[in-house]
Structure 1
Amino acid sequence: MHYLKNNKRTGWLWIIIIILLSSCTKGFKDMNTNPNALPGDRLNWDNVYLGGFFKQMGENVIPLGINDYQVVQNLAGDIFGGYNGQTHNWNAAGDNTTYNFSIGWNGAAYNIFYSRIIKNYDTISKYSANNPDIIAVARIIKVAAAHRMVDMYGPVPYFKTQGSLGSGAVYDPMDSIYFSFFKDIDSATTTLKKYISLGVNTLKNFDPIYRGNYRQWVQFANALKLRLAMRIVYAEPEKARGYAEAAVSDPAFLITTKGDNATLQGTEGVTYTNPLWGVTDAYQEARMSANMESFLMGYADPRLPAYFQPSKIAGDPSGVYRGIRSGSIIADGLRYQPFSMLQYNYNLVWMSAAEVSFLRAEGALRGWNMGGTAQQFYEAGITASFDQWGVSGAAAYIANSTNKPRAYTDPVNGTNNVAAGDPILSTITIKWDEAGSFEKNLEQVITQKWIAMYPNGQEAWSEFRRTGYPKIFPIKSNKGNDPRLNTIQVKRLPYPASEYQNNNINVIRGVTLLGGTDLGGTKLWWDKKP
């Protein structure tokens, strides 16, 4: 659950109550009007009506509620992408941590996407015919949420959902959905650029990301376009290049500094509690991962204390951090609770200047026109990440050519250890290797990008699937029904059981569009790296 402090809420409630009361005392016609709805001519009055729908969309791209965040993000992308381990197992038969995917957990992302993103977007579109700027920002948010959805599952109902699921919700091909993202982004940015010079700030009170700043929304939209272009590089390389080069063609409309990061900051008078507080502190479950320990301790990374808290294991000296290997069989969760908790005193970030620099570094590495060299953007990405987290030492870190990810030791269960020389342990160094092969340079870019994107595990998981980097330890125990996951690791989440119960014909079509079985080892459309 997230907590809000809204100093203006009471004032708005009285305004709405007065409007409702006055609309219900004017005779028979008004007696037959829905008393719970604002009158038609007041629907857009100061955006009171639309603002609530818009705000809820912003709060659910990455869900803010602790329980929602845990099942949609923390027990999916955060563990599959190598960021977090868990202090216990939820079920002796297995759960997401051991690839026996929870039926209930799998449905959470579906429910949130259709009820809080798509349904609200449909409402905003219906009542904002005279406010194309509002529709444009809502469209960008919809794309930001939708790409996370399809990157979890594959084909989903998208073009004809009417805001909800049911027997008539037809599954659409993943490539068609992706190509629609680029059209929506282009349409939205074209619209918003017309409003920027006018100084319009219609959504100031309802926009939890940029507080109505349309220039920053255009910057985010282009950065998102760059991310999505890179996602499809192995499936549609020429289209990927075209979209990427278009996204960076006007640097004034691209995220380049931390002040333009897409951050879930809240509106004026409204603050949010980072849901990582709930999963690591209140629930005592999420902890630093073994992979994060290996990379950050091995690199002596100055961002380590900004991300995690030191170990509380008795006998550990100060400055020691302990991570949990995902997929471990844990007999006594209390023994893992003293491992490194997550830091949470910051706002969640949808997309950062650091990520944009790493995307441009990869594009330049591929020979695309990104406005600079791969090395320049690689080093700029590290510098931007250090700046974002308020830590010093970026120059020395960038110049380090010796530090490598270190071996992993589990002080509770030695069978989880990863010894030096084990092929699953990365050996990549930090300093840019100008003479390195394409794959070595790509591993450098994605490894540092992975570190910089923390804690956005959904994006880390997608990039790991797309590129194979960084090297993430395979889980210790696969209790699911797909043996492929022992080596390739999880590629997607199976569709929710509710879809087989309520939308059976269409979900079966969705599996056909997927091109494989409805299992965790079936690759998505863009997952085509040789």
Structure 2
Amino acid sequence: MRTLYTILSACLSVVCLLSVSCTGDFKDINTDQTGITDEDMEIDFNNLGIPLDIIQQGIYFNYDFGKGKNWPYQLMQNLNADMFSGYMHDYKPHNGGSSNSDYNLQDGWNGTDWGYTYAYVMPQIKKLEDSTRVDYPSVYAVTKILKVEAMHRISDIYGPIVYTYFGNEAEGYRPETQQEAYTAFFRDLDEAVGILHTYMDSKVKGPDISDFDLLLDGRPVSWIRFANSLRMRLAVRIAMADPVKAEEEFRKSSGDPAGVFEQSSECVKVSTRNGYQNPLGEINRVWGEVFMNASMESIMTGYGDPRLERYFEPAADQAARYKGIRQGTCFSHLLYASHSKIYVNQTTEPILMTAAEIWFLRAEAALRGWTDEEPGVCYRNGVVASFRQWGADGLDEYLQSDRTGADYVDAFDPANNIEARCLVSPKWEDDASNEVKLEKILTQKWLAVFPEGDEAWAEQRRTGYPRLFPVRFNNSKDGCIDTEIMIRRLNFPADLADTDAPLYEKLVNAFGKPDHAGSRLWWDTGRNF
């Protein structure tokens, strides 16, 4: 498999040096590091296209900043959220077998989400906001929506973030609490949707951004529907932290005449038409390092889920057709290379949002009494949308299935065996308790959101569903992570305490809890009703 183990080990060994340059003094971060010159920006609307391109490539990070395109994504998402969500696992024993998998968290890896987003994405957002606010309001609105999409992911990983005051030296780049950040997210979505509605109703037309639009089709109505759907996502996220605000924001989206995503064909995906390549595909197909997680094996094989063959490849030389790797077992061999790889390749368009997710958000909102819709109807529509999206058969049988998760049997070490944790079935039950109904909704939502680990991890932390396998070995620092409650966040980049101590102190004060991975975020209340 080429000398990849050596190459990747070298990449991981220098990542701390690279991440220091990205997570150091915030004034330096605020200086654009993309290398784009003013002259570059003066040609053929490049002043719009180049920043939009960088921002969109930087959400599901694969921006070519001259230091390698794929390992940043591996560190930013694949070795944390993709694994912590219960979706994936690497077959290699990084750091001698003890690393993020068993909560021996690697600060050099886990600061990259923060570092690269603030070094490359946020400067372009700020630049585009400032340059389009007056002259190109429709582009300004799209930028606001992209800002929310990019930065809610960062907040949902760390908690407090620098958002409203990014680039504002007079305010000292003041961070906001997560509650304040969410309020700002909703405010920005309000502004963006209002501008785009006005733009659609007016006879004045701005620049056509369809050639620059990597996520949708460039049409304002599509971006309004994205903004409304994104608002639903964020509203449900804060359902227990601020239920009044959550319901208010959800109703705002459901009442907008442009609507939300509903059809299975409506997905927010990063287009690969202009040369963007899926970093997960590179890590999977070329590096050979993306495999099924044991929790995914348990639920999908237990359910007999027809989407399984769309998501994963059969295992090689294994008695079971599909095999996953259990997180936190501290294995020190390469035997799991025979297990099931993920379906993604370099040209697979990375999924950021699907219509199925929105139907499950509507199911939960209905369950909470926010709307007059029927939870079971929305639940069924979500499953239908996901099956159609993936071209899977057997929908009617699946919706009537009483099957539950399967026990996990490790192919090489019986000590890793564990009984199934997921004991709800796909069949909707009107007489079930609200908690069971919510578990069904969230389990199917988790299956439908695949392979977008950031969103899946956030929702699993918020609700505890689906029920994932705990780590076998918990090597968290000072036991800060509870084995059963599981990891709740990533701590702020460790080097901030040395390179920008005032900012680090402000972030910790805004968080109001110990800065470790066992501390819950604001929306993570530990209860569902």
With normalisation by structure 1, the TM-score equals 0.87
Alpha-carbon deviation of 1:195? 2.6
Q: Deviations over 1:384-441 (max 9, x none)?
A: 00111111221221121x2111000111111111136xxxx12101110100001000
Structure 1 distance, partners of 2:521, 2:79, is 20
Structure 1 distance, partners of 2:127, 2:418, is 52
Structure 2 distance, partners of 1:231, 1:151, is 10
Structure 2 distance, partners of 1:133, 1:505, is 37
Contact 1:215 1:253 in 2 (8 A): no
1:127 corresponds to = 131
2:154 corresponds to = 149
Contact 1:322 1:340 in 2 (8 A): yes
2:20 corresponds to = none
Structure 2 distance, partners of 1:126, 1:280, is 39
Structure 1 distance, partners of 2:393, 2:301, is 16
1:214 corresponds to = 220
Structure 2 distance, partners of 1:456, 1:482, is 30
3-state SS, counterpart of residue 291 of structure 2: strand
3-state SS, counterpart of residue 496 of structure 2: helix
Pick aligned residue for 1:296 from 296, 300, 304: 300
Contact 2:364 2:375 in 1 (8 A): yes
Contact 2:318 2:338 in 1 (8 A): no
Alpha-carbon deviation of 1:509? 2.5
Q: Deviations over 1:423-470 (max 9, x none)?
A: xx1210111010000100000000000000000111111111111111
Q: Deviations over 1:283-332 (max 9, x none)?
A: 222210001100110111010011100001x2536xx1000001121121
Contact 1:120 1:163 in 2 (8 A): no
1:101 corresponds to = 105
Structure 1 distance, partners of 2:419, 2:217, is 49
Contact 1:171 1:507 in 2 (8 A): no
Contact 1:482 1:519 in 2 (8 A): no
Aligned ranges 1:79-478 → 2 under 5 Å? 79-92=83-96, 94-128=98-132, 129-162=134-167, 168-196=172-200, 202-250=208-256, 252-266=258-272, 269-312=273-316, 314-316=317-319, 320-333=321-334, 335-345=335-345, 346-369=348-371, 372-400=373-401, 402-419=402-419, 425-478=421-474
1:19 corresponds to = none
Which shows bigger deviation, 220-229 or 187-196? 187-196
Contact 1:216 1:260 in 2 (8 A): no
2:520 corresponds to = 523
2:3 corresponds to = none
3-state SS, counterpart of residue 484 of structure 2: helix
The letter of the residue matching 2:151 is: A
Contact 2:97 2:331 in 1 (8 A): no
1:58 corresponds to = 56
Q: Give percent identity, aligned residues only.
A: 33
Contact 1:119 1:163 in 2 (8 A): no
Closer/same/farther in 2, CA of residues 503 and 218 from structure 1, 3 Å limit: same
Structure 1 distance, partners of 2:318, 2:149, is 45
Runs of 4+ that moved beyond 4 A: 197-201
1:489 corresponds to = 486
3-state SS, counterpart of residue 37 of structure 1: coil
1:71 corresponds to = 75
Please report the RMSD computed on the Cα atoms of aligned residues, expressed in angstroms.
2.1
Which shows bigger deviation, 217-226 or 508-517? 508-517
Q: Deviations over 1:167-219 (max 9, x none)?
A: 94332211111101001001101111223355756212211011312111110
The unaligned stretches of length 5 or more in structure 2 are 1-35, 63-68
Corresponding pairs, count: 480
Contact 2:269 2:350 in 1 (8 A): yes
Alpha-carbon deviation of 1:92? 3.0
Contact 1:55 1:208 in 2 (8 A): yes
The letter of the residue matching 2:433 is: S
2:4 corresponds to = none
Contact 1:328 1:476 in 2 (8 A): yes
Closer/same/farther in 2, CA of residues 315 and 372 from structure 1, 3 Å limit: closer
Contact 1:122 1:163 in 2 (8 A): no
Structure 2 distance, partners of 1:511, 1:315, is 47
Contact 1:86 1:326 in 2 (8 A): no
Structure 2 distance, partners of 1:84, 1:432, is 27
Q: Deviations over 1:22-57 (max 9, x none)?
A: xxxxxxxxxxxxx95339xx84x6412221011110
Alpha-carbon deviation of 1:512? 2.3
The unaligned stretches of length 5 or more in structure 1 are 1-34
Q: Deviations over 1:137-178 (max 9, x none)?
A: 0110010011000110011222222189x9943322111111
1:16 corresponds to = none
Which shows bigger deviation, 146-155 or 169-178? 169-178
Closer/same/farther in 2, CA of residues 349 and 441 from structure 1, 3 Å limit: same
Structure 2 distance, partners of 1:112, 1:36, is 19
